[in-house]
Structure 1
């Protein structure tokens, strides 16, 4: 049987990234944090934490991290049912892609945080990679493109994000005006969100069946990405509503009014059922249904 205080300490170390920060969160000394982690490692006969900057869980540590967070969720549920107003705010780590954070996800979770007094911890990553954080035990739920449930998790389709190709007027005039899209898109400079972003190349392959050969700029910040496209760094993909609004205002050019890229999204979450987790799933499904393209 694993000691719950030691498990909570493991969770705090990974959440905060260092023994010192975990000590501040738990209101104990860094030496006590170190002793608890060492005791947990002796019991499991495994190294559980890589002492790096930040500290990260090993594969064995990820297994116990998941257990630690499930215990915390269950303890929170019991405390709420008993009317314990002094209970520590529940830590809710969730993985979500940047576009969802920007356009709809906060509408689901901010009211939840206010209602239940939880601590939100959003891990922003590409939607094709967020499910990995579930497998690692780093999060309790994820907005992902993966329809295959992670072990111990349930999955529901919540809709699709629709993307449209856009560019500033100078980029349009230089690379697209009067040209065949099949030759224009692969050669034109584009803006990617980051090294994991494959949306633009996927759109081009779907449209032209050709690889992209033009320069790819990377701007890994949501506001910065949109600003870079508007400034003329290259063409990019905006979500549907912002793309149409910016085109209507004359700030950018909609490069193809007919073609778009739909990225199906799923909500994966622990199968554990508590009032907070059930409310989280309900809120995600409700807001997604209003904003996203209906799931096929």
Structure 2
């Protein structure tokens, strides 16, 4: 099997990242038929289909392997661009603008400690892409080769990846002060947990149910839930009296001190271990990213970091 056409590889990545041949063509500044021809050329070279031509386009198994190869090349080119900029400042920034580093994180980490970790990388011009998903599902983005790293609750590493335990997110259940006085003045209990609406991220978010079950000593619970797909949006809804929510202590500790929010399960918290997974490439960019995330996590999380 000969070397792969770099333009065809980037077409594959564009089709998957954009979700359609049309948008991939717009991004690549070529015609849609040219995108199809380049992709068919790759498929002919390999001998199997690379994508499922649906809406949005999905990767076949061989496509997942090839996309991971494309993203590994991007990391290596990003390393080269970084080294060359050090040698000749400003000379290669435009040439390496597309060597984007993609990571998957959950909304709570994104709203608390991840952005401070990425500040230096962003200020130094590293192209970044952050994909938000449930903390139990970010692992899948890495498994499918769609990102180079992820923050997840999964401790088990993937083949070809390293795992670093970064710490624990401490979660508490809160509600607006006036709402607490009306609906749960004595706190969360067996008599009221079914009536209190809990504001969750989406239908995949089981954080609220797991917290309530543990707080009440029940094997599992069914909650009355509302869905707001962002950490800040959920918090705003709780502050507006929509119901209760389970949040990282980092996010709400100031509002608890100010009295805007009340802890409706005093003395109860849930510590959720967090892990950083990334490819085991020899890459200064990935090493720098890993060090920044670990440092920020340990600086911001309220519980001592786990042993690696």
Identify whether the pair has TM-score above 0.5, normalized to the shorter chain: yes
Partner Cα distance (1:170, 1:134) in 2: 43
Q: Determine the structure 2 residue equivalent to 1:260.
A: 269
Separation of aligned partners in 1, 2:236 and 2:198? 13
For structure 1, which segment, 62-71 or 106-115, has the greater mean C-alpha deviation from structure 2 after superposition? 106-115
Per the alignment, residue 149 of structure 1 pairs with 157
Q: Quick one: distance in 1 between partners of 2:67 and 2:95?
A: 20
* Rounded Cα–Cα distance in structure 2 between residues aligned with 1:203 and 1:87: 48
* Matching residue of 1:189: 197
How far off is 1:179 after superposition? 6.2
* Residues 82, 134 of structure 1: alpha-carbon distance in 2 compared, 3 angstrom cutoff: same
Provide Cα deviations, 1:119-142, integer angstroms capped at 9, x if missing partner: 211110011110011110000000
Per-residue deviation, 1:190: 1.4
Unaligned runs of 5+ in 2: 86-90
Aligned position for 1:246 = 255
Aligned to 2:88: none
Matches within 5 A, 1:1-296: 1=2, 2-83=4-85, 85=92, 86-89=94-97, 90-115=99-124, 117-178=125-186, 181-210=189-218, 211-292=220-301, 293-296=303-306
**SS of equivalent residue, structure 1 residue 107:** helix
> CA–CA distance in 2 between the matches of 1:185 and 1:238?
17
CA-CA distance at 1:66 after TM superposition: 0.3
For residues 254 and 82 of structure 2, what CA distance do their matches in structure 1 show?
Answer: 44
Gaps of 5+ in 1: none
Cα RMSD, aligned residues only: 2.0
> Equivalents in 2 of 1:127, 1:179: separation in Å?
27
Measured after TM superposition, the shift of residue 186 of structure 1 is: 4.7
CA contact (8 A) 1:13 1:55 kept: yes
Calculate the TM-score normalised by the size of structure 2.
0.88
CA deviation vs aligned residue, 1:58-116 (integer Å, no higher than 9, x gap): 2221111001111222233234444561522211111000011111111112320231x
Once residues 180 and 68 of structure 1 are traced to their aligned partners in structure 2, the CA distance between those partners, rounded to angstroms, is 50
